[in-house]
Structure 1
């Protein structure tokens, strides 16, 4: 197709095709994109068009491209919806597991003997060294180590089982 013929075809039908698509989908940007794609395809493939039959061909191409676009969007939407559902499912399961583990941890802490719980919390929550704990509680470092060891053993047994 010659450049002048293409220009004439473009100038004559671009707005009509764009409006046809716009009326079908209600989005001027998408309508413009599809119309540009139609004319780009004609130019790139050097499709020879009889000017008297051009109107029918252009409307047919517009309809086909519109259907194709909707099919692609439908596939994308199905994929996106499925991924959102799976991610929501995973997040809810993860939240549930976390809450359940947190509850088990708190119950296990409450069941620890008071002396072991005190040493454990001073070490883990207050981030005190064994020597500091021993000094504050006025006990030996070996006693702190023994209480901590017993607390960790109990927590592992309860939480991992």
Structure 2
């Protein structure tokens, strides 16, 4: 069989092959890679020998590649977990914040909120536009009808207040 015949069969069977492999590996991008690898393997095999029934050979090659991929994933997950002692696994810190971290964050938010409430309305607006909306100095200055250097100075003062609040809370902890 020639390569043009492979191209014809492959193009005709590409979508069903992709669906089959996607069902097997449950990942569309991995299935797409396997379809491409299937084509390359079948083309390489055609260069070495003749294949009588190309379509079933194409599907069988794809399924074998998918099974190899799944087998590799199983081995990798077993190896990664089986090679690590249980005490080491239990010593790995959780991604979840601790109760202390949650309490500290809550206190910090509460104190920052109180400090920000004591700012002037213009300072509060500068803070919101800068930190929550991501606006630049010039944009804020235009909206509030002040100079960009005024915005910069006000924001510097606001950030100093925030840092001070955090430092005082950290000293108490």
TM-score interval, smaller chain: 0.3 to 0.5
Larger-Rg structure = 1
| TM-score using structure 2 length | 0.44
